[in-house]
Structure 1
Amino acid sequence: MEHKWFNMDVDEIERQLDTQVQSGLTSDEANKRLETDGRNELPEKKRESNLKKFLGQFNDVLIYVLLAAAVITAILGHFIDTTVIVLVTIINAFIGFFQENQAEKALNGIKALLSSTANVRRNGERQEVDGVELAVGDIVILSAGDKVPADLRLVEVHNLRVEESALTGESTAVDKQITVLEPDTVLNDRINMAFSGTSVAAGSGVGIVTAIGAKTELGKINEAITEVEDLQTPLLRQIGGFGRTIALFVVGVAVLMFLFGYFVRSFPAGELLLSVITLAVAAIPEGLPAVLSIILAIGVRRMAKRHAIIRSLPSVETLGSVSVICSDKTGTLTKNEMTVTNVETTAAFYEVTGTGYAPTGEIQLKDKKRTENADQILQHFLTCVQVCNDANLRQDETNRWTIDGDPTDGCFLTLGRKSDMELPSYTIISKIPFDSDYKYMAVLAEINEERYIFVKGAPDRVFEMVAKHSQSDFDRSYWEERMSLRARVGERVIGAAYKKVYSKTEKLGHHDLDNGLHFLGIAGIIDPPRTEAMQAVETCLKAGIQVKMITGDHADTAKAIGKQLGIGDGQTALTGRDLDKMTDEELEHAAETTHVFARTSPENKLRLVKALQKIGHICAMTGDGVNDAAALKRADIGVAMGIKGTEVTKDAAKIVLADDNFQTIVHAVEEGRRVYDNIKKTILFILPTNGAGGILIIASIFLGMTMPLTPVQILWVNMVVSVTVSLGLAFEKVEEGAMNRPPRDPKARLLSPYYAFRIAFVSILIGIGTLWMNTFLQNQGYHNGPHQTIILQMFVMAQLFHLFNCRSELGFAFNKDFFTNRMAFLVAAILVVLQLAITYLPFMNTIFQTTPLTLTEWGIPILMGLAVFVIVEIEKRITKSVVGRRTR
């Protein structure tokens, strides 16, 4: 049974854990607990050896058939054939190994979040111990800047604020308290707990260790990551099924052909077995896995130029079928940099331009009713929020502006730098630090030999203090209405006030704020949406892709930010508590119909992704915090932020955005659609080679003819066409209107009825044409060497010309884009060079049993290629006209 420590008082926790807050555990007791519970570290994941990964590349039914063919050819003594077949399978395995060998680093990334040391009370004394030596029941002392070393139930807090965005998605530091909470309090609202891997932004505190290692909230996320299975992409699922179908078909046909040839045609068993192996080699597209890997790798390179780092090759293609993007808010759709967007003083209203911590922007007057002293009051306001401030604004080594301390304090430092006013220098005399109990910060400061008290905090508390001033003309109802207005649009509101005091004042207490405060105004603060994210959301919606915001932030803030981004209606949102109460069926309905989810836990995010997948969506999940990692790994496409994302998130994701730009996801989707279209064109191009080869061998057996090509020659044709000419199609431009069509159905067949017809049509065209020419050449008295070489070149030339047919599915080959793909012409030239090499180089003549051809003999292959090109173009024109009539 899991204990709800946040729902227990301190005395009960001490009894449950047999510890004392004032003295802590004894060293002996801590050691005993370490032996029982283990060390405060996460378990290592057993890694698969490189050898096992490499051997796994052979786990494919098509490869099994090829390896069986290699064994049989070796038994028959055809060792050159055996060697070539084995080399082809090994080359394919190396390509797959190097492309897919992405090391799983998620556990190491989480380990980096754990604290290395901790300050504890043991044996009644304060001492420092290694973080891994913490035991349940230890009393941990926290100070500003510390990393929380384990899950703690807080028992003492002094202005303690903890930065939890990496774990919960909370955009601001959380004020901690020690009060007992309700038993159904969600993770994000457990303000009496401090969690392993988070950091102390301000203040200090004391807590009892309630969980270590794998049992912490961080450890649960780690466990969720290891338990989440990597889903196979739609393309790989289709290719896998496609390969199994081909293998079963080829083996079945081969067996039938052997039986027919042996019993009907009376072929010798050895010769027939070699012919059947030739059939298997001809019909199996052994070059397809290699060329698909290369096409995907080209997509990876193109995406890298557009700031998207692809960690898993098939992810490029999967992007093309994404139908929903689930995005974290903080740091993904927003900048994760609190920004003052407006200031309303008692004299005027101002809008503030610029977003983030970079001090670029202006404070612009937007109120025509300003009073004469407006500039002076604005200066007082800016001085107040600078003095009541514990943050530090700086540029890091990459010249990016960042803050040390509380994000709310940090954004006021940026606000001050945006002003063209000269703010006075000051000396702090005394201070009341911010505390969530009284919700304000007050500072006694000296400016130009005069002393002032400045107050910054929650508007309702500032209103209350100002209203006590007997001579104040403060209109509280007006300012409460203005505060509510700002809150309704998702802004956090901060109020400011000040008063002048005697120059001899040395101490500051809460009672000093009871009278005489002058109200200065309020400021509205948001974590601003990224401008490019708004554009990206709009583009996604046009492309038929739903966008859902799943955040740890508050519902009102999430709804307001969502509305600005175009996600949801600004009125509807479900919280993590709502989701926890839902059955799986109810959750599936909610996942489909709701677009904004707030106060969500890591488990909520994971459930939402699973629900969307169950109802048929191809799901992408973006995020930057540890709390997103499990959902990122489960999603069909996990997208991590590269700049602000944690290492855990990056290593759990399949794509990392190097620029943290949501717009890059749109580019990635467009690239995914281009890659998938080009893969289909490539398959449309490659398979007729295999089909024609199979038809040629089957017809030869049926007709009792000598095999026109040997297994090694067939293998050459399959591989050389795959890894040269077919690559030209990988560089075709994105189809016009690709981002205006809905996502493709992942259940749709890889080959449409028309593609199946085209493959069969071209296979028959090349196969029967070659068979006829084979008979013609035999009748003309050609012997084996020149005869087989001409047939070999016919096969290759037919495919070379067919390449240009495939660049457009139904359009005319010679269109306006004919010369835009220079790579198509380059690979065609490479193929010609290779074919000249196999024809005229002596060592290749020996391996492939070819002979040099005369110039006249080259005319036959070239005419064959031209004939295929012209006939297919005619077929395309007829098909296009038929399709056009049907759609009218």
Structure 2
Amino acid sequence: MTKNNFHIQGLSRLEVAAARERYGINRLSIEKNNVFFTALKDLVAEPMVVLLLVTAVIYLVRGQNGDAMFLAIAVFLVAGISIFQNSRSKAALDKLKSFTQSKCRVIREGLVTDINSYELVVGDSLIVEEGMSIAADGRIVHSNDFSVNESILTGESLPVFKDPLSVEPIVFQGTTVVSGLAVVAVSAIGDQTQLGKIGRGLESITVEKTPLELQINNFVKKMVIIGVIVFAIVWAINFFRSADWLASLTKALTLAMSILPEEIPVAFTTFMALGAWRLMQMGVVVKEIKTVETLGSASVICTDKTGTLTENKMSLAKLYLRGARQFYDAVELMDEKKARQLVALAMWASEPIPFDPMEVALHEGYHKNCDTDERPGYRLVHEYPLAGKPPMMTHVFENESGHRIIAAKGAPEALLAVSGLNIEEKKVIESAIRKLSAEGYRVLGVGRGLLDGNQFPPVQQEIQFDFVGLVAFYDPPKKNIKDVLEAFYKAGIVVKIITGDNPFTTQAIAKEIGFRNGNETISGDALLALPEKEFGEKIKHVNIFSRMFPDAKLKIVNALKAAGEIVAMTGDGVNDGPALKAAHIGIAMGTKGTEIAKDAASLVLVKDDLSKMVDAIAMGRRIYTNLKKAIQYIISIHIPIILTVFIPLAFGWIYPNIFSPVHIIFLELIMGPTCSIVYENEPIEKNTMLRPPRPLVSTFFNWSELVTSVIQGLVITGVTLLIYQYAVNAGFSEQLTRTMVFSCLLSANIFLTLVNRSFYYSLRVTIKYKNRLMFPMLGFTLLLGLALLYIRPLAMFFEFKSPSAFQLAVSAGAGSLSAGWFEALKWVKRK
């Protein structure tokens, strides 16, 4: 909390409590679905659950009560795993929602404090400033250069200027502050606001599926269609041979279960939601889950300079007086009257209650160097907001005796254009600007307005100004920014600086931080003047863009996207909103970022630390890689299950029905947690951030990777069927043959899980990966498998016969080799 300069006391704690009791909390009412019934509905819609229930009913009709009971239990296990995964995903997303709760600033008991927007009450004194989203309806009681965008309510995109004396000095919830600052007495919150009264239509907004989600859903749908066709074929074959339609249906359902890859959608949801949760723990708040899958593909990062590459800790460092043609050190000016007057004039050109770091520095410089503080004796009688290309702003102050101060500051080029200087004078000042900029200073021009009477022109550029001098600020680079840039470059990511500052300052900072390919710069005006083809070429090889404005930023982002780049864009101001929205990954700053920037962005860096984007991109690549491992594992292990059920039946082998639904569901219960829980927890591989970005347009199931998974599955199938034939030729019974086939598949599953932890590094390397879930899960699978083979009641239920040590070693060894051969291929690949 800090003391306020508005002479407003605000509500007391008791008044806040009374208002909350009377009017409620500041939140729109939204219909909420019953969580239990929603989960139940989703569960019943799962094909695997439907198949299990149908098969259980068939077993009951046939009098096989034990099998029916097992499948009923399996329904609860499948439901439990599904609900557990969904609850983990939902908990992660709920935590993200609570973390991204918007904030607002109020005056209570004479102090300025930040609170959550939902804590706002009727009667509060709400402070709103440039870039903020207004949290409630209210009446303006104080304002400086205040304008709002009310397009969300009126459809009119132009800003509306308002003050306490306006015809309608009212602001509305959901509108955004374009410029200035105001204190608002809150009159309505929640459903009673204008937005609340028309906001019910916002509840029905649907979220589009991402390209990856569509690819995965399409793949699953195709597998379901294949499952239906094969189901019909198997049922027909069995019915033709046995004329028992119920038994034939059971066997056909067994195959249908083996084909359905129901683990894939669950894995996708889990990976994305938990990925967003992990990012939040790292200080990166993901507002849209789809951003998680895009992060790993980022190929270009467009970053602003101030506050991203630099500390945004402006200190007044240097001055230049036009009249004296002399530079001054701003630290000590007590004996330099004209230099102190320049600081004073720059201060008068600033907001009376400063919030911009440069304006804060000017107020501090004035307070430190003035003999008498004249601020209380003057009032603001007219103001021109920051406007123009390049921009400038003008304030008109007057005291009780009628003495007037007309002060302007802004881009030096803007002040030079309205000061009526001759060419020689301009050249001298431009030389001074280059000198200060080349040393890395942020430079502003300062002018004194020459205007008599009270007829203020409509635009400040029509006023004649006397160019007084330059004020220069130093904003040091962030300490870690060199390492951050180097990490981006190693990951194959191009970095471009897009800033409103001048090219000399930007290049000086770029050189200091080790920025690559920063020799050429171009301004926003020059860029937009280029023909379309030349524009596209220019943005490819130029990496520093100076004196940029919203239209130019937006066009750069769209041109990079059109060139096939995956664009990440950082921003913090109102003017960054369009470009942040257009970028594939809009990145807002959590501390200095405006509400408009945060609303437009898809993720927020909580501590304004660009190094977190390195972590976020690494996390995006890790999530994508691990999801791909999980799905390749699912494909590889489904193939031998499908073919081990289908081939003996189709070719009329001696034991045609080697597996029943109870065996398939057991294997499914093992595979689900493995792909969704274990693979999600895999650490990032050490070469992940040394590879170029993955093209976003590339299909998730590319041909080479799909072929790899299919070959893995076919090899496991071939070895499993060899074990089948070995057991048959050795004269083993159906139960023992089933046992050996099952043992082979189970050991293949365990080894495939380990082998597929990396498609590049060897098992000797990946065995050291830190994954606290991997070995407990595999150990549990192994113990459970042994229990089924050697605990007599379980073996009888599953129609197994306990194998000898040699028989188990043969089947388990064969299964291990059927997955382990891939290690040799990885060795060749590394070589």
CA distance in 2: counterparts of 1:636 and 1:618, whole angstroms: 6
Native 8 Å contact 1:188 1:599 kept in 2: no
Change in 2 beyond 3 A, CA 1:796/1:350: farther
CA distance in 1: counterparts of 2:640 and 2:826, whole angstroms: 19
For structure 2, which runs of at least 5 residues remain unmatched after alignment? 1-25, 61-66, 108-119, 185-191, 385-392, 455-465
CA distance in 1: counterparts of 2:786 and 2:577, whole angstroms: 53
* TM-score normalised by structure 1 residue count: 0.63
Native 8 Å contact 1:115 1:131 kept in 2: no
What corresponds to 1:198 in structure 2?
Answer: 177
Write out aligned runs for 1:503-582 (5 A): 522-525=470-473, 536=484, 539-540=487-488, 543-545=491-493, 569-573=520-524
1:240 to 2:189 alignment: no
The amino acid that maps onto 2:318 is: N
Deviations 1:636-662 (A, max 9, x none): 545443334466765775533222222
What corresponds to 1:757 in structure 2?
Answer: 707
1:162 to 2:162 alignment: no
CA distance in 2: counterparts of 1:158 and 1:463, whole angstroms: 33
CA distance in 1: counterparts of 2:578 and 2:467, whole angstroms: 47
What corresponds to 1:32 in structure 2?
Answer: none
Deviations 1:403-454 (A, max 9, x none): 855654312245579xxx9986767684364854694677999xxxxxx999
CA distance in 2: counterparts of 1:587 and 1:466, whole angstroms: 33
Look up the SS of the partner of 2:698 in the other structure: coil
Change in 2 beyond 3 A, CA 1:441/1:493: farther
CA distance in 2: counterparts of 1:45 and 1:574, whole angstroms: 46
1:703 aligned residue (651, 661, 675): 651
Write out aligned runs for 1:319-718 (5 A): 319-325=295-301, 339-344=315-320, 349=327, 363=331, 380=340, 384=344, 405=355, 407-413=357-363, 430-431=377-378, 433=380, 435-436=382-383, 439=394, 457-458=408-409, 478-479=428-429, 482=432, 491-493=442-444, 495=446, 522-525=470-473, 536=484, 539-540=487-488, 543-545=491-493, 569-573=520-524, 598-600=548-550, 617-624=565-572, 636-645=584-593, 654-704=602-652, 705-718=655-668
The amino acid that maps onto 2:89 is: Q
Native 8 Å contact 1:621 1:639 kept in 2: yes
CA distance in 2: counterparts of 1:557 and 1:726, whole angstroms: 51
What corresponds to 2:717 in structure 1?
Answer: 767
What corresponds to 2:768 in structure 1?
Answer: 819
CA distance in 1: counterparts of 2:656 and 2:193, whole angstroms: 68
1:64 aligned residue (20, 24, 47): 47
Deviations 1:694-753 (A, max 9, x none): 110111211333322222322222331442488555455544553344322233232343
1:270 to 2:249 alignment: no
Deviations 1:501-526 (A, max 9, x none): xxxxxxxx99xxxxxxx999631248
Shift of 1:299: 3.9
Change in 2 beyond 3 A, CA 1:638/1:201: closer
Native 8 Å contact 2:297 2:694 kept in 1: yes
CA distance in 2: counterparts of 1:227 and 1:338, whole angstroms: 45
Native 8 Å contact 2:52 2:71 kept in 1: no
Look up the SS of the partner of 1:749 in the other structure: coil
Kindly, what percent of the aligned residue pairs are identical? Answer: 22
Native 8 Å contact 1:696 1:770 kept in 2: yes
CA distance in 1: counterparts of 2:360 and 2:619, whole angstroms: 39
CA distance in 2: counterparts of 1:376 and 1:813, whole angstroms: 73
Native 8 Å contact 2:144 2:181 kept in 1: yes
1:831 to 2:815 alignment: no
What corresponds to 1:873 in structure 2?
Answer: 823
Look up the SS of the partner of 1:344 in the other structure: strand
What corresponds to 2:7 in structure 1?
Answer: none
Write out aligned runs for 1:771-790 (5 A): 771-778=721-728, 787-790=737-740
Deviations 1:615-634 (A, max 9, x none): 75545454456777787677
Deviations 1:114-165 (A, max 9, x none): 999xxxxxxxxxxxxx9999xxxxxxxx99999989999x9xx99942387x
CA distance in 2: counterparts of 1:570 and 1:160, whole angstroms: 36
What corresponds to 1:260 in structure 2?
Answer: 237
* More displaced stretch, 295-304 vs 273-282: 295-304
Native 8 Å contact 2:349 2:408 kept in 1: no
Look up the SS of the partner of 2:759 in the other structure: coil
Change in 2 beyond 3 A, CA 1:877/1:202: closer
Which gives a bigger RCO, structure 1 or 2 (Cα 8 Å, sep 6+)? 1
CA distance in 2: counterparts of 1:609 and 1:45, whole angstroms: 35
Look up the SS of the partner of 1:858 in the other structure: helix
Q: How many residues align?
A: 722
The amino acid that maps onto 1:247 is: V
CA distance in 2: counterparts of 1:589 and 1:148, whole angstroms: 41
Native 8 Å contact 2:147 2:159 kept in 1: no
Change in 2 beyond 3 A, CA 1:314/1:562: farther
* More displaced stretch, 718-727 vs 381-390: 381-390
Write out aligned runs for 1:835-854 (5 A): 835-839=785-789
1:798 to 2:782 alignment: no
Native 8 Å contact 2:334 2:369 kept in 1: no
Deviations 1:756-813 (A, max 9, x none): 3332222222223223323443555655655544433321111212233323324543
Look up the SS of the partner of 1:744 in the other structure: coil
Deviations 1:814-849 (A, max 9, x none): 34x542445444443343334345456688668756
Look up the SS of the partner of 2:522 in the other structure: coil
Change in 2 beyond 3 A, CA 1:343/1:747: same
1:95 to 2:85 alignment: yes
Native 8 Å contact 1:296 1:316 kept in 2: yes
CA distance in 2: counterparts of 1:849 and 1:623, whole angstroms: 65
Change in 2 beyond 3 A, CA 1:639/1:93: farther
Change in 2 beyond 3 A, CA 1:272/1:538: same
The amino acid that maps onto 1:657 is: L
CA distance in 1: counterparts of 2:812 and 2:83, whole angstroms: 34
The amino acid that maps onto 1:809 is: F
CA distance in 2: counterparts of 1:759 and 1:495, whole angstroms: 68
What corresponds to 1:282 in structure 2?
Answer: 258
What corresponds to 2:8 in structure 1?
Answer: none
1:860 to 2:777 alignment: no
The amino acid that maps onto 1:280 is: A
Look up the SS of the partner of 1:257 in the other structure: helix
Shift of 1:240: 1.6
CA distance in 1: counterparts of 2:399 and 2:35, whole angstroms: 65
Change in 2 beyond 3 A, CA 1:85/1:600: same
Look up the SS of the partner of 2:316 in the other structure: strand
